[in-house]
Amino acid sequence: MSIAEKILSRSQKLWETCIPHLSVDNVVFGFNNGKLNVLLLQIIGDTRWVLPGGYVKKEENVNDAVKRVLKERANVDDVFLHQFSTFGDVNRSERFFEGYPDYLWHKQRFISTSYYALVDHTKVVPVADEFSAACEWKPVDALPELVMDHREIVDKALQVLQEQLSYKPIGYNLLPEEFTLTELQNLYESILGTQLNRGNFYRRIMKFDILIKLPKTRKGGAHKSPDLYKFDVAKYEASLKNFTW
């Protein structure tokens, strides 16, 4: 079956089972080799990429749909998804299916409720679905061309993360259990898109009081072995909720 035939055949099923005009999109962030990445699908027969998104069933909570869609489209589950924005501009999506007949499900106007997730990329084995040629991590600072407004959706997710960094910690779901302060600083730098002063970073991150220094160091480098840390999960969780003045 060609990709066009697959889409047409899926269209009928979607009209029967899903809520028209509403879609969900996932921005899954992973951190690898000092780079922040986003999980993307490449469209079959196209050079461009797309977020792993989909539709909401008639009797399904939107918060559940987004999890099902991520599993179906990219084989990713057990991740914590945070809703961050709904994209509702006219014509944000439908022109993409211009060559198809007007009754095509995908040709409707869609309002997309979007979610982001932070995952340890080593715990995820992405698998492309039948509509995609590939499912891969792509660095946020060098994204390939994305269709529709998906680039705007990624940018907004990143902006929300940046804003959150200013008042609550990030890292628990993105880093392996044990990490060096340099690795944590690299994560912050890749979210913020800028270099940070090492001393300032150290002082600010220590103020959160969420790190436990381990009685061992990272071996193998050319330089002095750096200290290893892990998160104090109870304090980390508390710092996410403690917004009192």
Q: Which residues bind its own copies (CB under 8 A)?
A: 19-22, 56, 58-63, 65, 83, 85-86, 88-90, 109, 111, 113, 162-163, 165-167, 188, 192, 194, 196, 200-201, 204, 243-245
Sign for the CA dihedral angle at 173, 176, 121, 124 comes to negative
Minimal distance, residue 91 CB to its own copies, in Å: 9
Residue number, 6 or 109, with CB nearest to its own copies = 109
Minimal distance, residue 44 CB to its own copies, in Å: 30
Minimal distance, residue 60 CB to its own copies, in Å: 7
List the helix and strand counts (H, then E) for the chain.
6, 9
End-to-end CA distance of the chain: 60
Residue number, 2 or 195, with CB nearest to its own copies = 195
Interatomic CA distance for residues 192 and 163, integer angstroms: 9
Residue number, 42 or 85, with CB nearest to its own copies = 85
> Buried b / exposed e across 87-103, counting CB within 10 Å, b at 16+?
beeeebbeeebeeeeee
Residue number, 22 or 44, with CB nearest to its own copies = 22
Minimal distance, residue 133 CB to its own copies, in Å: 31
Minimal distance, residue 143 CB to its own copies, in Å: 22
CA distance readout (Å), 54 to 88, 131, 245:
15, 12, 40
Residue number, 144 or 167, with CB nearest to its own copies = 167
Count of C-beta atoms within a 10 Å radius of residue 1: 9
